[in-house]
Amino acid sequence: MASVFLGLGCSAADPSNAADDGVESSAAALSDEPAARGAERTDTLLATFSDDTLRQFSLSGKELGIVARGLNSPTGLALDQRGNVYVANVADNTIVAFSAAGAALGVFASAGSGLNEPVDLIFDTRGDLLVSNIGDDSIRRFSATGQPLGVVLSLLGRGCPAGLAVSRTGHLFVADQCASVVRELSVTGVELGTFAASGVSNPGALSFNVAGVLLVANTAGPFGNTIHEFSARGRDLGPFATTGLNFPASLSFDRHGQLLVANGAQRPGAVDYAIHRFSPNGRDLGDFIVLPAQPRRVVVRSTIAASCN
């Protein structure tokens, strides 16, 4: 399927520069709401779904459109400093990239470069992309241009890496679902041991808030369907949220400190799925959006809209 470009802002995207990788992309779907006539910061939510789409929503809960169709079991989702979007496809072991305007940029990395069922992505403080592989229980590093830089961590035989988070100091935190712990690595990739274990069971997602507190989403086990908080030193601060959660698979904060959570299981008594929202102090604000497809990963995207004058 050829890529489709619908234009963005004051000028249309140029389809001649895009790779035809079988993914249909809509540049218009990455536009901001409302269209700005002056510099204005806008937050939107990007999410991957089980129907092989990447979608965008305003933070009022309005769907702004489908950014890309024809993905292949998309899960991991990350943004680089320029606003480019990276999506990990579990089924074909690829990471595909889209420009900040929504144009398809082609395949960033593939199985030949070390991908093995990639489920989570995050950029570190050096601009490298870190990838969590569940196929061989490894964390791999790629340069900003997609060059494979080797294995950062192997948990083969002792754990299962899932969600990733990077602190302001550049340390990497790994949710280990099999061992029910959060592991910490130094900037250089040295394993520093267990960061958190109490209050953790089958952790699936991690995210730091603006205060440097790490939130851990527990998907199952004794703390299943809860989100737990830990200080920067690993002190257990107790539960952040215990309601509105149903296999919480991904976490992302907006610039106001509100937390958006992708629930990976269907809502109780229903056949649809929800992305749920919480206030900065953990107050349950209800479902943000309800859709028939399962949300996999969520990322809040902040944009400074350029003037069209």
The DSSP secondary-structure symbol of 7 reads -
* Residue 19: pLDDT band with limits 50, 70, 90: very low
Is residue 1 situated within a structural domain?
Answer: no
Structural domain for 273, as ranges: 15-305
Is residue 158 situated within a structural domain?
Answer: yes
Place of tokens 């086990």: 221
Calculate mean pLDDT across residues 168-197: 96
Is residue 215 situated within a structural domain?
Answer: yes
Dihedrals phi, psi of 15, to nearest 5 degrees: -70, -15
Say how far apart CA 40 and CA 192 lie, in whole Å.
41
Calculate mean pLDDT across residues 31-50: 72
Is residue 9 situated within a structural domain?
Answer: no
Place of tokens 């992305």: 275
How many structural domains are present in the chain?
A: 1
Calculate mean pLDDT across residues 227-253: 97
HSE at residue 231, side-chain half, CA atoms within 13 A, is 4
Quick one: how many helices (H) and strands (E) in the chain? 0, 25
Give the CATH number for residue 68. Answer: 2.120.10.30
Is residue 2 situated within a structural domain?
Answer: no
Using CA of residue 181, residue 122, residue 265, residue 117, what is the dihedral sign?
negative
Query: What's the pLDDT at 24?
Result: 54
* Residue 34: pLDDT band with limits 50, 70, 90: very low
Calculate mean pLDDT across residues 179-194: 96
Summarize pLDDT for 58-85 with one digit per residue, the tens: 999 999 999 999 999 999 999 999 999 9
Place of tokens 């070390």: 114
**Cβ-contact 120, 164 below 8 angstroms:** yes
The DSSP secondary-structure symbol of 307 reads P
Is residue 132 situated within a structural domain?
Answer: yes
Dihedrals phi, psi of 62, to nearest 5 degrees: -90, 130
**Cβ-contact 218, 201 below 8 angstroms:** yes
Record the pTM: 0.88
The DSSP secondary-structure symbol of 175 reads E
Where does 110-160 show beta strands of DSSP type E? 118-123, 129-133, 138-142, 148-154
126's tokens: 């050096």
Is residue 240 situated within a structural domain?
Answer: yes
Is residue 3 situated within a structural domain?
Answer: no
Say how far apart CA 184 and CA 173 lie, in whole Å.
5
At 291 the three-state DSSP class reads: strand
